[in-house]
Structure 1
């Protein structure tokens, strides 16, 4: 064990930092993009606060297409766009855009599902009191669904960790890259098992924290 830590400790630690950086940066951007997408889908439904069949149909169609693409395919599909936007297709900068395109629609769909769980009678009650739709959206709907949304965001974050493992194929680094480059290509299973264990621990911690926050918000 001591020899393994001596030989691989620095490499794995650096890869862990890269994975956390990719996940956190992408997660924040995806939340900023994804939550409004989810709200848009709910609001523009035929029974929403601002029914708009055209906007809903186009948004729903685009999200379904993006969600149907496996991340590894999406990663290579938008390489030209990534090059234009990020200026590079390698490293953490080169993988943030594909990860956001992958995660934001997923978060949007999860948020939509959470918002649709709200009792329509509650929304109608606030509308009958003359409260503006914007306040109903952000102060009633999102607030009522916040516990469920946190749970959904936890699921999305875990999915992102899995996606970053494939990001190593474009030189983004991370634990997935270490597992592939050393554990698989160089036949060093101990390195691969170590990265797998770290990823499992990360997911368990994230899931536990998400569950606690979600439970507390539901009680408030």
Structure 2
């Protein structure tokens, strides 16, 4: 569940973050109306609590996957919750890139695509990797919440057995697994950031 949703979030959220950056005021492709519309949509999706989004998306999830239960029934809501979150973090990482780098590539005659792929994403890579790490950890908590509506995974195990059947040992073991997973993701993310930081 985490692997599938994180992959889709990274693939869809990166272009969203680039779009937000490029169309924002005083940037390469500044477009006030586009930025306002996309930013508004991102803010709405980010402000919804995940459990409410998960329930509200059940008809869409059933249409897309044929079920609202299990791993497949959770992935659409996880993606819709994660893409705006990651996109906004990517936008912030791109804003940290030195403006002089953009101006230098413009002076050399680079077009927008070349600037984004050759300069911006390359320079912002440590920040984007840190954003991916934060997003992955947020998705871990979202996957646990997916268990509330039968989404499967560790959250479902904790609720069905640990809470409903009063098996506190199952609840405790689930918490340990979640903590270990978060620590593993954070350690991996930190190493990648340190490796790519110049």
Partner of 1:161: 140
TM-score, length-normalised on structure 2?
0.98
Matched, 1:50 2:12: no
Q: Does the CA contact (< 8 Å) of 2:69 and 2:152 recur in 1? A: no
Greater Cα radius of gyration, structure 1 or 2: 1
**Could you say what secondary structure the match of 2:67 adopts?**
coil
Partner of 1:141: 120
**Could you say what secondary structure the match of 1:118 adopts?**
coil
Partner of 2:85: 106
**1:63 pairs with one of 37, 42, 52:** 42
Unaligned runs of 5+ in 2: none
TM-score, length-normalised on structure 1?
0.88
Distance in 1 (CA, whole Å) between partners of 2:153 and 2:169 is 17
Query: 4+ runs of 1 displaced by more than 3 Å?
Result: none
Distance in 2 (CA, whole Å) between partners of 1:216 and 1:117 is 18
Matched, 1:186 2:186: no
Matched, 1:73 2:52: yes
Deviation at 1:86, TM superposition (A): 1.5
**1:85 pairs with one of 45, 60, 64:** 64
Deviation at 1:166, TM superposition (A): 1.1
Deviation at 1:125, TM superposition (A): 1.1
Distance in 1 (CA, whole Å) between partners of 2:68 and 2:189 is 32
Distance in 2 (CA, whole Å) between partners of 1:47 and 1:134 is 17
Deviation at 1:170, TM superposition (A): 2.5
Unaligned runs of 5+ in 1: 1-21
Distance in 1 (CA, whole Å) between partners of 2:195 and 2:15 is 24
**Could you say what secondary structure the match of 2:197 adopts?**
helix
**Could you say what secondary structure the match of 1:30 adopts?**
helix
**1:95 pairs with one of 56, 66, 74:** 74
Distance in 2 (CA, whole Å) between partners of 1:94 and 1:151 is 28
Distance in 2 (CA, whole Å) between partners of 1:124 and 1:46 is 16
**2:129 pairs with one of 150, 162, 165:** 150
